[in-house]
Structure 1
Amino acid sequence: MKGDVTMSLKNRADNAKDKVAGKAKETEGKATNDKTREAQGKAQGVLGKAKDKFEDAKGAVKETVDDLKKKMDKK
């Protein structure tokens, strides 16, 4: 269980890093009128958000499986 929490926190930190770096690249692209850099930044930010959603889904599935295991153990 501890490994799951540690991995989740590491993943969340990596996701936040993607979102922040993406925003920085997007801002840099806008400031320098570099459409490619701006698009790269947007893409990286979206990737970070998508990975967050995936982590949320993994957590929800794990909770559901754990609940089912508890119910099965009671029977």
Structure 2
Amino acid sequence: MNKQTHSESQDSATLAYGEHVKTLLTMNDPKEWVEDLWIIYTGFMVAQHELGHNPHASDLFCTFRELVFFFQKLEERKAA
């Protein structure tokens, strides 16, 4: 992502990030995002044996989990 410039207001930065998220969300529906994330994470975990120890594995899991929760919340909103 681009860093905020001094002349860019917080609101315009938030709107710009929102536009990026909106673009991402038009690529797939939330359920497909969750399925894709599981495929990516599973492949990563399977490859760990070959890749060796990763001291950031727990951080990666937390990021993965938060992304899954984000898309699950979107899916729940869509269903409501």
Please classify the TM superposition score into its range, dividing by the shorter chain length: 0.3 to 0.5
- Structure that is richer in helix per residue: 1
The alignment's TM-score, normalised by the length of structure 1, stands at 0.44
Which gives a bigger RCO, structure 1 or 2 (Cα 8 Å, sep 6+)? 2
Structure with bigger gyration radius: 1
